Structure 1
Amino acid sequence: MAASACLAITLGSVSLSLVIGTATPAWLVTMWYPPDEVIEGPPLVPVLGGLLLLGLVNSWMLWEVLRGPAPAAAPMRRAATWLRLLLYADVVWLLIPSFLPGLVETVIGLALWVPALVLFTVVLTGSGRPYRLALLLLGLVEPVTSLVDCLTDDSPLQIFVSPAYKATVMAVGMTASVVTVMLLLAQRRDGRWSRVTLLIGLGTFASAFLVELVDGLTRGGAIESIAEAMDVLYIVWLARTAHELNREPRRKAPLRVPAPVAAVAAVLPLMVVGPEGRPHLTYTWRSDDLMECWTWSEPPRVADIPAHKRERAYMCSVNKSSQQVSDQALLGRGRDACARFAAGEPVRARPALLALLCPEVIGRRHPDLLVSSAQIARQEAEKERIERERSARKARREARKEDALCRDPWPALRTRFQATASYYDWDARPYGIYDAEADTEEGYEAIWDRESIGTLATSGPLALIFTPSQDWATCVTAKALRSAPPPLRHKGWDEVVEADIVSESGRLVMQTLSASKVRFPNLARGGPGRYRLRLYTRPGVDLVLVYPVRRAAW
Structure 2
Amino acid sequence: MLSDDFWRIIRIGVVGLVLAAAAAGLVFGDAWLWVAVEWSPPAYAESHMSGGFDTPTIVALLVAAPVKAALLWLIVRAPAPGPLDRRAKALRRLLYLAVADSLVLWYPIALLPDAVDSAFRLALWTAIDVLYLLVIRWRSRMLRAAAGAMFAVELAGTANVLLDELDLPELGPGGVVELGLIPAGVAATIFTVVGQRRDGRWSRGTLVAGWLSAGVYALLIPLNALFGRIPGGYLAMLVMMDAVGLVSTVWIAATARELPTQDRPADLPPARRPVIRVAVAAVTVLPIIALVHPEQHARLTYTGWSMDCYERHSFGDLKPAERDAAFLCRARSTEGGVPPMFPDSLSDQAILAYGRALCRTEGRDEQEAILTRAGSARPAWGADPWDLVYVCPQIIGTTHPELLRSTAETEAANAAYIAEKNAKCRDPWPRTKGVVQATANYFLFVDGDPGYLVHDPEDEAADKAAEQAMDRIYDDSTQIGVAGSAALIGHLGDVVDLCLTVKAFRTAPPQRTAGWYQVNEVSIVSRSGRLTVPEMGEGGEVGAGAPMPNLAIAGKGRYRLRVYMRVDDAGEEQHLVVVFPGASRKRLNLKP
TM-score (norm 2): 0.42
TM-score (norm 1): 0.44
Structure possessing the higher radius of gyration over alpha carbons: 1
Larger relative contact order (CA 8 Å, sep ≥ 6): 1
